[in-house]
Structure 1
């Protein structure tokens, strides 16, 4: 099964409150985006599509491709003004003979081969899966006034991570449908926040949950950088 990883690094990282874009912040001497790319480079993944801000295309080629010799990066393409438009651009840039596509946030540096292998097995069996972990805490659903409205069963509640993995022809088609129906969905109050929702909303397919890792964190705030450095020190 030919596999492609779409690594998303097109955001601004405003919550990081840094002059340097989040994906280029140095963590233990290397830019954040390096770690996800290195994980895919060393895995069974056949090719990588890296999605970055349009203004950063040349910078990324010079700071990532040349120094670190990522041989699996097939192309670097520009992102859109929303996450799902960035994903769509990545899907358009993938090889057409791709069979399974792994969509991953570049701000999650601790994806590993064990997670990828579990996801590959699941997509072969179910056609669509997302990586995540069961929540450890009790979750409350709030009402519009900020009062606890209901408490979902903790045993049935997961934190969703990436990669999110799909059969390429199907997810590519559905993302094109999403772009075409964007205004209609917005008018109905449907807010697509991850790739699984595209499959669930437009593809009417159930998405399998696959165990990831509690260390598969997303770097969003300065506190996350400190946590990532501690995890890296433990790993290496």
Structure 2
């Protein structure tokens, strides 16, 4: 059971879920699409609700999706777990910031609403790293060769693949550090594609913890096919 409304907690999870996911082309917010018979958002939340180190979960949702999210939490039984909702912003960055201001945690994990396959083992490794270094992210080494390409479609260079990693979530930070990073980013007009970028802009080292290639984010219709395959592959394995 997550902690009470006014109790200071140690580890919190922030889940920005206010986006529409236009690339999915589903006609509804992608977190409401189903994976193995349950909404993807519920599958994601179940990972953190069952993790013994997690004390608090704050989900940022759009006003349009508020009632549907409440209904899903009620139907799944997760409403009883103390999950709190806040109204998200126009961009993911804004949603995370709003949720951060509501959090009471010393440490926060920021996680994509549609990334349901992160395991407890990887969360544990991330928590170990962030408590030692203050900022850490899950990532996996790139498998493919990457090319730098100009606007004209011409190859301009080939980076050293051994130094390139694909970043995943959760990303973990001391809450006060991430809050400061967001506030500085807003003041500077910085648009960041992930939270680690805002922390990097402060000159803070962000440690990489090796993730899992199955920890995918569901963004396009093809991802749903892969996700169903991963779910079947895992079977009854523990998260």
Match of 2:88 among 75, 79, 82: 79
Match of 1:26 among 26, 30, 34: 34
Q: Indicate the residue corresponding to 1:188 in structure 2.
A: none
Tell me, yes or no, if the aligned pair for 2:12 and 2:107 is still in contact at 8 Å.
yes
Q: Deviations over 1:99-128 (max 9, x none)?
A: 110000011010110110011011011110
Q: Indicate the residue corresponding to 2:199 in structure 1.
A: 199
Q: 1:181 to 1:232 in 2, by over 3 A?
A: same
TM-score normalised by length of structure 1: 0.91
Tell me, yes or no, if the aligned pair for 1:6 and 1:104 is still in contact at 8 Å.
yes
Q: Which runs of 4+ in 1 moved over 3 A?
A: 70-74
TM-score normalised by length of structure 2: 0.90
Deviation at 1:37, TM superposition (A): 0.3
Matched pairs, number: 226
The equivalences for 1:134-153 within 5 A come to 134-153=141-160
Structure 2: stretches of 5+ with no match in the other structure: 1-8
Q: Indicate the residue corresponding to 2:6 in structure 1.
A: none
Structure 1: stretches of 5+ with no match in the other structure: 186-190
Deviation at 1:170, TM superposition (A): 1.0
Match of 2:18 among 10, 15, 25: 10
Q: Distance in 2 between matches of 1:176 and 1:72?
A: 30
Deviation at 1:71, TM superposition (A): 4.2
Q: Distance in 1 between matches of 2:74 and 2:115?
A: 19
| 3-state SS, counterpart of residue 99 of structure 1 | strand
